Amino acid sequence: MSTTPKLMPLAVALFALGVVAIVAMFVAGERGLPVWVFAAGWLLAPAGLALGVFSAVRESRTRR
């Protein structure tokens, strides 16, 4: 039986990419970045966080 959730690495990767995009927005300022960087910052970090919470809850329920 595996104790590592299968979705958690994906959640961590999505969250990390979102945080990198957010940091890039602060470093570069409002101008000079493509739209996809702003979209990544707004969408990937919350999606990664939600997937991580979902994965943790799902894993805790299957262990009972």
Name the band, by pLDDT with cuts 50, 70 and 90, for residue 62: low
* 2 within a domain of the structure (yes/no): no
Sign of the alpha-carbon dihedral angle for 8, 14, 16, 18: negative
Report if residue 54 sits inside a domain: yes
Domain enclosing residue 38, as ranges: 8-59
pLDDT in tens, 9-54: 999 999 999 999 888 888 887 677 788 888 888 899 999 999 999 9
Q: Is residue 34 part of a domain?
A: yes
Please provide the distance, in angstroms rounded to a whole number, between the alpha carbons at the two ends of the chain: 13
d(CA 3, CA 6): 9
Which pLDDT score, from 0 to 100, does residue 60 have? 82
pTM attached to this predicted model: 0.78
> Does 1 map to a domain?
no
> Following CA atoms 14, 20, 26, 30 in sequence, which dihedral angle do they give, to the nearest 10 degrees?
-70
Residue 30: alpha-carbon gap to chain centroid: 22
Total number of domains constituting the chain: 1
Q: Give me the pLDDT at residue 29, please.
A: 78
The answer to whether residue 12 sits within a structural domain is: yes
